[in-house]
Chain A
Amino acid sequence: MNGGDEVAAAPVGPPQPLEWKFSQVFGERTAGEEVQEVDIISAIEFDKTGDHLATGDRGGRVVLFERTDTKDHGGYRRDLERMDCPISRHPEFRYKTEFQSHEPEFDYLKSLEIEEKINKIRWCQTANGALFLLSTNDKTIKFWKVQEKKVKKISDMNVDPSKAVGNGSVASSSNSNSTKSYLANGGWPEKSYGYPSNDFTFPPGGIPSLHLPVVTSNETSLVARCRRVYAHAHDYHINSISNNSDGETFISADDLRINLWNLEISNQSFNIVDVKPTNMEDLTEVITSAEFHPNHCNMLAYSSSRGSIRLIDLRQSALCDSHAKLFEEQEAPGSRSFFTEIIASISDIKFAKDGRHILSRDYMTLKLWDINMDSGPVATFQVQEYLRPKLCDLYENDSIFDKFECCLSGDGLRVATGSYSNLFRVFGCALGSAEATTLEASKNPMRRQVQTPSRPSRSLSSITRVVRRGTESPGVDANGNSFDFTTKLLHLAWHPTENSIACAAANSLYMYYA
């Protein structure tokens, strides 16, 4: 195998590395401003079209953003695309609305405080112009509907409301009595009036003096309403929720169990995976993340703290404790250390849009798996290999348990994940791509960009397209930037159709495009 063969196999060649530019920031910190704990972003999610973005924070709030660059042209977006408009538009968002999704609670039975922190947000099918999303904290999932509501003004009532409120003081003597008893009756006048329902005969043409109130509405306002609450189904903390492609069910996963819900039924769920051993002392691994396949309604994947991903088929059995496929990497012999198991723990998995690949993030690496190949990952990207000598310190200050998320681009050609010092890394995963970019969540993302992309270090097994690359350049450290473990970029999301990334640095939401 040499370079020439590779080109022949992929005549188009690997896509060029992207040049990332700053697009927007929401909630930027001014110098010296202290970050309020409740403002720290804890979840980011684009909707299916990419026209909306939602963030959740530790204060239990959900903030929605909407895309502005396409909205201006209303329904002509398709036409624009057809014209292949030369103006290079990148997604731009504006604040749409926000609402308090979860409140802090106290579980009196277990004497446990339940944080309001939003762990995950998932968008659901839109209908009638309303937006729907699921949000969850550690215990409770909520289904939200966000809709424009007309602000109504009611006028021309049959009964003068001012008179009614005035309790008869200004009313004419003929109906002041009625007003009083109407109010005293709490608004339901049936009893006091011998309601004219059955015995009362209306004249054939109706009563002309009665008329319907006139409703006028000029403006609209966005209203978020909680439609359903899916509660009391998890003994442990919920780490993921995921919608099914069938549009009617979703799963929620905690440390030991995965439950299946129907969106319309909030009082029952089915346990489909239960890894709790009869004796908790035998516990060797926990579920860390779970996601439905993007188009096969019967398939879902979940990851574990021991670095494995299990693919299960809901068709096989009602209780899916036995997996259909298991993906894990054989550890290299002799390399074991105290930290091996801890850093193998997968913090996040994501299906690629095609449904064929799964991206997983563990403490040191991103791994891309092909669901048709369970012998090992098709690609491994080193995210923060330079930390290996510091694992002891990271263990001491608990940073080693940080849960970094990962994401794939809509075309499946690139993957991204966060790191410390508010850095995030983007890798090309197309055949032959050597793209490996480090960006900083700031207005100048390329500030820390120092290393040149290194050629992937190929092993003999390159026939199976296994690549290992993104070797960390020690230059970052040499650059004089000491790594800051307190500023970690845990949450990020890739726009579903364009090269645009939204990422959270503490309380600020940064957006980049390429």
Chain B
Amino acid sequence: MATIDEPLYPIAVLIDELKNEDIQLRLNSIRRLSTIARALGEERTRKELIPFLSENNDDDDEVLLAMAEELGVFIPYVGGVEHANVLLPPLETLCTVEETCVRDKAVESLSRIGAQMREQDLVEYFIPLVKRLAAGEWFTARVSSCGLFHIAYPSASETFKTELRAIYSQLCQDDMPMVRRSAATNLGKFAATVEPAYLKTEIMSIFEDLTQDDQDSVRLLAVEGCAALGKLLEPQDCVAHILPVIVNFSQDKSWRVRYMVANQLYELCEAVGPESTRADLVPAYVRLLCDNEAEVRIAAAGKVTKFCRILNPELAIQRILPCVKELSTDSSQHVRSALASVIMGMAPVLGKDATIEQLLPIFLSLLKDEFPDVRLNIISKLDQVNQVIGIDLLSQSLLPAIVELAEDRHWRVRLAIIEYIPLLASQLGVGFFDDKLGALCMQWLNDKVYSIRDAAANNVKRLAEEFGPDWAMQHIVPQVLDMINNPHYLYRMTILHAISLLAPVMGSEITCSTLLPVVVSASKDRVPNIKFNVAKVLQSLIPIVDQSVVEKTIRPCLVELSEDPDVDVRFFATQALQSSDQVMMST
């Protein structure tokens, strides 16, 4: 046992703890691997630390994950890129473990290192590594190998390139669906590095095999490949090779594959270009919008605005809009909800006339939907329609919808609509708000659910910000202050909270003249909870009001509270007094 000098003691402990029994300590040491490497120096890091890590790789997943991550940025500690290859062996073993997240991280780190390695090192070390993994006995190694081809391929010689392509093609036909899935996922990345001549022949034939795989789970990953490959191919090749696949997929037996198509179709349109989109993809999309599986319709409905944006308005009105009408009365509430969350965005696409004529009836029917989420989704995107047709046409239907949501028996629905009130207020204007919504905002302050009262207090503040102190003084403050006389102390507490939020917005003058007296009188409340909340509110008012007011009103009140029989009241009052002392000293 060597004697360790005092300054080195912590680093010595850190090294020892690489093998501690406590996983937390091992994790700590691995996270500081760069420190250990610096302490050992570059040469001993290469010769001792890295082999040590390669040998001790049967640790817990958490430790392995951390190791895989650290090694990805380890090039500086082993002596720069010319020594980067020493990092490959430990990562190679990490690529074979059975925990997916460790493998993924190891592949990510290998890719990062490979991207920096010198070309001759890639040939000498990296390509053989990829080949070893691809020929691995366990599927885990083969799964990992798929994510490394795009790094290895560009620097390989012609013979190696041919071999790598052949290996990849084999991986796409592996017995294990997991390997085929990984090959399908990574095909786009690999294809991007392959020369155009081989892209059109070999890669496309690999791709076609994947699109006909027995396993749904492989086919649906191939859908993602469509967009990636489409972007690599010349437009005419894309139309010739990718388009038929997409059209086929959109009629796949498996709803999960169709669901993927519905989700991806927008990207695919970009790949095939506008003409083919009109001719071939619009019919496919229309089919998906009318799919008999609700999940597919949900995905398709959620993309309707994005899709319409790449079409011309006539086509959208002619082909897509009829489906949208159908969807707005779909039997599945989730489909209607997905539609409601995007349909408002169609207004700018279709223009004013078409919106009034075609979309408005749909908006109105969705606003009357029996399912609150649908209504909420419409309301949340109100601003988009406002820009196109103004709010007047909607406001008639809007109010009943808002009132109904405001009184929904589920507090989460009420909470959601409160969140939108400031948005509504800004869109609808002061006039509309005064008439219809003001009362609702006050009603929420008296809600039975704390979260609603809390949100309502916040809402009052945001309204004051939106319409200004003068308006608030007239329309909000008196009503709020009235409620301080509520017989239940929990509701009185909400009002105190609202006051503390309003004060900064209203400014010093109004706070002193209107809000402060209410707070002070509340300090005489019989419930201790109110009293110590008064102390807290007073503390928050100190920076807002004038120093003289603090001296004359706030401090006497706090002093009185600091002699309260209740221990909590005394605590918060003393705390507030201390903070007022600090403010005094600093001025």
Q: Do A and B come from one complex?
A: yes
Residues of A within 8 A of B (CB): 125-128, 130, 132, 145, 149-150, 152, 154, 156-161, 172, 174-175, 178, 182, 187-190, 193, 195-197, 200, 202-207, 209-213, 215, 245-248, 264, 296-298, 314-318
Quick one: which of B16, B39, B214, B255 contacts A206, CB cutoff 8 A? B39
A190/B16 contact (C-beta < 8 A), A248-B178, A297-B215 known: no
Say which one of B3-11, B389-397, B402-410 lies at the interface with A. Answer: B3-11
Q: How far is the CA of A163 from the CA of B389 in the complex (A)?
A: 81
**Complex contacts, B17 vs chain A, CB 8 Å:** 187
Q: Are A212 and B255 in contact (CB under 8 A)?
A: no
Q: How far is the CA of A195 from the CA of B8 in the complex (A)?
A: 10
**Complex contacts, A203 vs chain B, CB 8 Å:** 41
Let me know if B38 is at the binding interface, CB within 8 A.
yes
Quick one: which of A125, A152, A209, A212 contacts B5, CB cutoff 8 A? A209
**Complex contacts, A126 vs chain B, CB 8 Å:** 138
For the complex of A and B, the 8 pairs showing the least CB-CB separation, nearest first, are A206-B41, A158-B12, A315-B254, A127-B98, A193-B10, A160-B1, A189-B10, A206-B40
- For A130, A207, A298, A317, the residue with the greatest tally of chain B CB atoms inside 10 Å of its CB is A207
**Complex contacts, B149 vs chain A, CB 8 Å:** none
Q: Are B4 and A159 in contact (CB under 8 A)?
A: yes
Q: How far is the CA of A47 from the CA of B10 in the complex (A)?
A: 49
> Contact mask B13-24 → A, CB, 8 Å, 1/0?
111111110100
Quick one: which of A193, A200, A206, A209 contacts B43, CB cutoff 8 A? A206
Q: Are B9 and A128 in contact (CB under 8 A)?
A: no
Q: How far is the CA of A211 from the CA of B19 in the complex (A)?
A: 13
**Complex contacts, A195 vs chain B, CB 8 Å:** 10
In the assembled complex, the CB of B86 is this many whole angstroms from the nearest CB of chain A, namely: 15
A247/B176 contact (C-beta < 8 A), A149-B58, A205-B43, A316-B255 known: yes
B2 to chain A: closest residue by CB: A209
> Contact mask B137-178 → A, CB, 8 Å, 1/0?
011100000000000000000000000000000000000111
In the assembled complex, the CB of B569 is this many whole angstroms from the nearest CB of chain A, namely: 37
Q: Are B15 and A206 in contact (CB under 8 A)?
A: no
Q: How far is the CA of A402 from the CA of B255 in the complex (A)?
A: 39
Q: Are B16 and A175 in contact (CB under 8 A)?
A: no
A125 to chain B: closest residue by CB: B139
Q: Are A196 and B44 in contact (CB under 8 A)?
A: no
**Complex contacts, A197 vs chain B, CB 8 Å:** 32, 35
**Complex contacts, A150 vs chain B, CB 8 Å:** 58
Q: Are A127 and B138 in contact (CB under 8 A)?
A: yes
Q: Are B216 and A297 in contact (CB under 8 A)?
A: yes
User: What are 13 residue pairs bridging A and B, where the CB atoms are less than 8 Å apart in the complex?
Assistant: A125-B176, A127-B139, A158-B12, A197-B35, A206-B44, A210-B8, A212-B40, A247-B176, A248-B177, A297-B217, A298-B254, A315-B255, A318-B294
B42 to chain A: closest residue by CB: A206
In the assembled complex, the CB of B236 is this many whole angstroms from the nearest CB of chain A, namely: 33
Q: Are B255 and A213 in contact (CB under 8 A)?
A: no
Q: Are B8 and A209 in contact (CB under 8 A)?
A: yes
Q: How far is the CA of A43 from the CA of B45 in the complex (A)?
A: 51
A206 to chain B: closest residue by CB: B41
Q: Are A318 and B295 in contact (CB under 8 A)?
A: yes
A204/B6 contact (C-beta < 8 A), A159-B13, A210-B12, A210-B15 known: no
**Complex contacts, B49 vs chain A, CB 8 Å:** 212
Q: Is the interface of B mostly helix, strand, loop or mixed?
A: helix
Q: How far is the CA of A154 from the CA of B1 in the complex (A)?
A: 13
**Complex contacts, A182 vs chain B, CB 8 Å:** 9, 13
Let me know if B293 is at the binding interface, CB within 8 A.
yes
Q: How far is the CA of A195 from the CA of B19 in the complex (A)?
A: 20
Q: Is the interface of A mostly helix, strand, loop or mixed?
A: loop
**Complex contacts, A215 vs chain B, CB 8 Å:** 19, 52, 55-56
In the assembled complex, the CB of A337 is this many whole angstroms from the nearest CB of chain B, namely: 43
**Complex contacts, A296 vs chain B, CB 8 Å:** 214
**Complex contacts, A174 vs chain B, CB 8 Å:** 3, 6
**Complex contacts, B140 vs chain A, CB 8 Å:** 127-128
**Complex contacts, B255 vs chain A, CB 8 Å:** 315-318
Q: How far is the CA of A203 from the CA of B7 in the complex (A)?
A: 13
Quick one: which of B25, B176, B177 contacts A187, CB cutoff 8 A? B25
B35 to chain A: closest residue by CB: A197
Q: How far is the CA of A205 from the CA of B79 in the complex (A)?
A: 11
In the assembled complex, the CB of B185 is this many whole angstroms from the nearest CB of chain A, namely: 13
- B interface residue count range (under 10 / 10 to 19 / 20 to 34 / 35 or more): 35 or more
B257 to chain A: closest residue by CB: A315
Let me know if B446 is at the binding interface, CB within 8 A.
no
Let me know if B508 is at the binding interface, CB within 8 A.
no
Residues of B within 8 A of A (CB): 1-20, 22, 25, 28, 32, 35, 38-45, 48-49, 52, 55-56, 58, 96-98, 100, 138-140, 176-178, 181, 214-217, 252-256, 292-295
Q: Are A193 and B9 in contact (CB under 8 A)?
A: yes
In the assembled complex, the CB of B59 is this many whole angstroms from the nearest CB of chain A, namely: 10
In the assembled complex, the CB of B465 is this many whole angstroms from the nearest CB of chain A, namely: 39
Q: Are A207 and B40 in contact (CB under 8 A)?
A: yes
B4 to chain A: closest residue by CB: A158
Q: Are B217 and A246 in contact (CB under 8 A)?
A: yes
**Complex contacts, A315 vs chain B, CB 8 Å:** 216, 252-256
Q: Are B58 and A178 in contact (CB under 8 A)?
A: no
In the assembled complex, the CB of A353 is this many whole angstroms from the nearest CB of chain B, namely: 16
A153 to chain B: closest residue by CB: B19
**Complex contacts, B7 vs chain A, CB 8 Å:** 196, 200
**Complex contacts, B44 vs chain A, CB 8 Å:** 206
Q: Are A211 and B2 in contact (CB under 8 A)?
A: yes
Q: Are A318 and B293 in contact (CB under 8 A)?
A: yes
Q: How far is the CA of A38 from the CA of B16 in the complex (A)?
A: 44
**Complex contacts, B10 vs chain A, CB 8 Å:** 189-190, 193, 195-196
Q: How far is the CA of A154 from the CA of B8 in the complex (A)?
A: 21
Q: Are A213 and B97 in contact (CB under 8 A)?
A: no
A248/B217 contact (C-beta < 8 A), A159-B12, A210-B15 known: yes
In the assembled complex, the CB of B262 is this many whole angstroms from the nearest CB of chain A, namely: 13
Q: Are A187 and B22 in contact (CB under 8 A)?
A: yes
In the assembled complex, the CB of A513 is this many whole angstroms from the nearest CB of chain B, namely: 29
In the assembled complex, the CB of B186 is this many whole angstroms from the nearest CB of chain A, namely: 17
In the assembled complex, the CB of A86 is this many whole angstroms from the nearest CB of chain B, namely: 31
Q: Are B216 and A298 in contact (CB under 8 A)?
A: yes
- For A172, A200, A206, the residue with the greatest tally of chain B CB atoms inside 10 Å of its CB is A206
Q: How far is the CA of A393 from the CA of B9 in the complex (A)?
A: 79
**Complex contacts, B181 vs chain A, CB 8 Å:** 248
Q: How far is the CA of A40 from the CA of B12 in the complex (A)?
A: 53
A296 to chain B: closest residue by CB: B214
**Complex contacts, B178 vs chain A, CB 8 Å:** 125, 247-248
**Complex contacts, B8 vs chain A, CB 8 Å:** 207, 209-210
In the assembled complex, the CB of A129 is this many whole angstroms from the nearest CB of chain B, namely: 8
**Complex contacts, A196 vs chain B, CB 8 Å:** 7, 10-11, 35
Q: Are B16 and A246 in contact (CB under 8 A)?
A: no
**Complex contacts, A178 vs chain B, CB 8 Å:** 6, 9
**Complex contacts, A264 vs chain B, CB 8 Å:** 100
Q: How far is the CA of A132 from the CA of B49 in the complex (A)?
A: 32
**Complex contacts, A190 vs chain B, CB 8 Å:** 10
Quick one: which of A159, A210, A297 contacts B40, CB cutoff 8 A? A210
A132 to chain B: closest residue by CB: B98
Q: Are B6 and A202 in contact (CB under 8 A)?
A: no
Q: Are A212 and B28 in contact (CB under 8 A)?
A: no
Q: Are A158 and B13 in contact (CB under 8 A)?
A: yes
Q: Are B18 and A212 in contact (CB under 8 A)?
A: yes
Q: Are A246 and B28 in contact (CB under 8 A)?
A: no
**Complex contacts, B35 vs chain A, CB 8 Å:** 196-197
A189 to chain B: closest residue by CB: B10
Q: Are B15 and A213 in contact (CB under 8 A)?
A: yes
B140 to chain A: closest residue by CB: A127
Q: How far is the CA of A190 from the CA of B35 in the complex (A)?
A: 12
Q: How far is the CA of A196 from the CA of B256 in the complex (A)?
A: 54
- For A126, A145, A212, A213, the residue with the greatest tally of chain B CB atoms inside 10 Å of its CB is A212
Quick one: which of B15, B32, B41, B177 contacts A246, CB cutoff 8 A? B177
**Complex contacts, B13 vs chain A, CB 8 Å:** 158-159, 182, 187, 189
A152 to chain B: closest residue by CB: B19
Q: How far is the CA of A316 from the CA of B258 in the complex (A)?
A: 11
**Complex contacts, B293 vs chain A, CB 8 Å:** 316-318
